[in-house]
Structure 1
Amino acid sequence: MPPPEQSLSLPRYLQENEISEEFRDLIVSIPTEKGWVANHFHQYQGFWHTTRQLQGLLACQKHFQAEDGDIYLVTTPKSGSTWLKAMMFALVHRVSFPDPKQHPLLTNNPHALVPFLEHEYIGKEFLDFTNFTFPRLFSTHLPLVSLPKSVNSSNCKLVYLCRNPKDTFVSLWHFTNKLRPENWGANSLEETFDKFCRGVSLYGPFWDHVLGYWKESLERSQRVFFLRYEEMKNEPKIHLRRLSEFLGCPFSLEEENNGVLDEILELCSFENLSNLEVNKIGMLPSGEKHEAFFRRGEVGDSMNFLTAEMLEKMDMITEQKFHGSGLKL
């Protein structure tokens, strides 16, 4: 934990200065553990959040008003959120931006075009989303149980993307170490692996997060589209087409013949996005550098970092958690 006199020099995502008395009363009454980047994790509604994120979550639950037709992109952290945001923005707004050479994604980071809903509410209560074009496109890491009530009561669509837990963990470990100030040092692989397996991670437990949306997708398939990162990587064109149909904006035969799907996939590819200048030198308002969101995005990368014992333990936990659900990652 940094000394108080240094806290204001930290990037915004690490500052915990403006906390109301009501919020202090809450966080002292709920489980708290040491965070991976920020000082603390707090367990709320069964899931772990940083102090700042929990503030945003509570304000979002209280004040956000969903509208019919909204689209919510839901992910566990480091499961392809940046890629999904880019693809969904390009898909939904393809009529407005038909020229891939003059597309907003070339000059804007995907997180700026599709904001994290709960992050927008950090330090705020009333937000004006009237400038959002229809359909409104939001993203969130919130578990199903923590979504604002207005989302659940509205006629909206949720697209859920998850990734196998081993690759998710390794990507999250790298990402959070990038966010730590250099003089703090990196988190050890072993320490963070233990926390992840215990469920103590950003918006974790990972398995509970995934299961919540998996079950919802089975019960309300017209509302929740459940997607695996590995499937999307393997057959992106098929799943992009399925997404368009789920959202009610299917590709026309003319678009198919003119290669519109291929143009979207090329525009939103890891190679293209990661090499754009905005994603090399830009920064989010909260202080995270855009380049931190682009590492490798490869399936099976965890094999390069986790020991055989770690891989076996993660597989065992996943099998136990998902037993009887019909879900495999």
Structure 2
Amino acid sequence: MDTPQQQQDKISPQAKWWVDGQRIRYKGFWFKPEFITASEAIRAHYTPLPSDIILASFPKTGTTWLKAITSSILRHNSSTIHDDLGHLNPHEVVPFLEIELFGEKPSKDITNISSPRVFNSHLPLSFLPETVKTSGCRVIYITRHPADTFVSLWHLYNNRFGTEISIRQAFDEFCKGLVPAGPYFEHILEFWEARDRVMFVTYENLKANPEENVRKIAKFLGCKPIVEKIVKECSFEKLRNTIKERGEGIHWSGTKYEMFFRKGVVGDWKNHLTREMMKEFGSQHF
């Protein structure tokens, strides 16, 4: 028989904007059951190499941009790895550990990926093998203002599934942690506590100082940056236009690639959230 905590962990949250499947609480975080199964497979079978690069993030915090920048840096430092972003979406270049490599129906074989292997994950650090901390592999974590993260996530679900949940209700659920990979702050905290081994990048700083951040990321990866070229190649406008030129494409999650590019701005939450909501947000989390 399950313990009270195990029973609690199996309760499905009543979040009306999640219309793409059930979530369950596992180790304090909300995920689809298949992501939890995949995380167990990752911990059991993924052995990080010292040359591996893991791009970690909470959903809608700048994942696509970080993938693009990392891929561009590596491609300009070696002619044998990583495809041109002019022909592929960043999500096609950097695979997700929990879906494309260790999911129920993996589409890629990890043993066939050339070094340095680059992976992405929305999983908390505790869901990854302990050897991620000791193998010497490099982990980059991108984060973003929680209000902008929430607004971007809410728009994505509304556009993809046509949900009609009010921003007020969605906001309340976000504050309670009832979002994919949530709670948001706990997700960040796990990586922050390992910051002696994890490079932190913020969406806001990347937006304000792209050259400086590209240079820092390249140094962290042991690469020589071609800063101006990489910044131009990975600009929001360039990436979005490339997707439009290629026509409609579908991500493994079922999301159209074009939906990953909405505004790409800082402070859009001011157009959606009231002062009262932000005060409530602040009182709970800051």
TM-score, scaled relative to structure 1:
0.78
Asked if the contact 1:60–1:125 (Cα under 8 Å) also holds between the matched residues in 2, the reply is no
2:231 matched residue in structure 1? 265
| In 1, Cα distance between equivalents of 2:210 and 2:258 | 23
2:3 matched residue in structure 1? none
2:216 matched residue in structure 1? 242
2:37 aligned with 1:55: yes
Asked if the contact 1:34–1:41 (Cα under 8 Å) also holds between the matched residues in 2, the reply is no
| In 1, Cα distance between equivalents of 2:189 and 2:125 | 9
1:134 matched residue in structure 2? 115
**Helix, strand or coil at the partner of 1:94:** helix
| In 1, Cα distance between equivalents of 2:34 and 2:271 | 33
- Equivalences, count: 276
Asked if the contact 1:59–1:125 (Cα under 8 Å) also holds between the matched residues in 2, the reply is no
| In 1, Cα distance between equivalents of 2:69 and 2:91 | 12
Mean Cα displacement is larger for which, 302-311 or 121-130?
121-130
Mean Cα displacement is larger for which, 304-313 or 76-85?
304-313
Aligned partner of 1:211 among 180, 189, 196: 189
Q: How does 1:150-165 map to 2 (within 5 A)?
A: 150-165=131-146
After TM superposition, give the deviation of residue 66 of structure 1 in Å: 1.6
| In 1, Cα distance between equivalents of 2:246 and 2:45 | 32
| In 1, Cα distance between equivalents of 2:166 and 2:135 | 43
| In 1, Cα distance between equivalents of 2:204 and 2:252 | 31
Cα gap change, 1:296/1:280 in structure 2, threshold over 3 Å: closer, same or farther?
farther
Aligned partner of 2:96 among 99, 108, 116: 116
Cα gap change, 1:158/1:104 in structure 2, threshold over 3 Å: closer, same or farther?
same
| In 2, Cα distance between equivalents of 1:66 and 1:284 | 25
**Helix, strand or coil at the partner of 2:194:** helix
Mean Cα displacement is larger for which, 284-293 or 111-120?
284-293
Aligned partner of 1:299 among 266, 269, 286: 266
Which amino acid letter does the alignment assign opposite residue 314 of structure 1? F
| In 1, Cα distance between equivalents of 2:107 and 2:65 | 29
1:170-228 deviations in Å (ceiling 9; x for gaps): 00101122221x4xx332211211111011111111011112211211xx2xx210111
| In 1, Cα distance between equivalents of 2:247 and 2:205 | 27
1:96-117 deviations in Å (ceiling 9; x for gaps): 359xxxx621111101100111
For the pair shown, the structure with the greater C-alpha radius of gyration is 1
Mean Cα displacement is larger for which, 293-302 or 275-284?
275-284
2:43 aligned with 1:89: no
Cα gap change, 1:45/1:146 in structure 2, threshold over 3 Å: closer, same or farther?
same
2:55 aligned with 1:77: no
Cα gap change, 1:237/1:58 in structure 2, threshold over 3 Å: closer, same or farther?
same
Which amino acid letter does the alignment assign opposite residue 117 of structure 2? R
Asked if the contact 1:68–1:154 (Cα under 8 Å) also holds between the matched residues in 2, the reply is yes
Asked if the contact 1:30–1:43 (Cα under 8 Å) also holds between the matched residues in 2, the reply is yes
| In 2, Cα distance between equivalents of 1:158 and 1:245 | 13
| In 2, Cα distance between equivalents of 1:64 and 1:291 | 31
Which amino acid letter does the alignment assign opposite residue 238 of structure 1? E
Cα gap change, 1:163/1:126 in structure 2, threshold over 3 Å: closer, same or farther?
closer
Cα gap change, 1:87/1:27 in structure 2, threshold over 3 Å: closer, same or farther?
farther
Q: How does 1:1-329 map to 2 (within 5 A)?
A: 30-35=10-15, 36-97=18-79, 104-120=84-100, 121-124=102-105, 128-180=109-161, 182=162, 185-217=163-195, 220=196, 223-251=197-225, 260-276=226-242, 277=244, 280-319=247-286
After TM superposition, give the deviation of residue 286 of structure 1 in Å: 3.8
**Helix, strand or coil at the partner of 1:93:** helix
Cα gap change, 1:126/1:177 in structure 2, threshold over 3 Å: closer, same or farther?
closer
Which amino acid letter does the alignment assign opposite residue 109 of structure 2? D
1:146-175 deviations in Å (ceiling 9; x for gaps): 112342342101001100100000001011
| In 2, Cα distance between equivalents of 1:317 and 1:271 | 35
**Helix, strand or coil at the partner of 1:196:** helix
Which 5+ residue runs of structure 1 have no aligned equivalent?
1-25, 252-259, 320-329
CA RMSD across the alignment: 2.3
After TM superposition, give the deviation of residue 31 of structure 1 in Å: 3.0
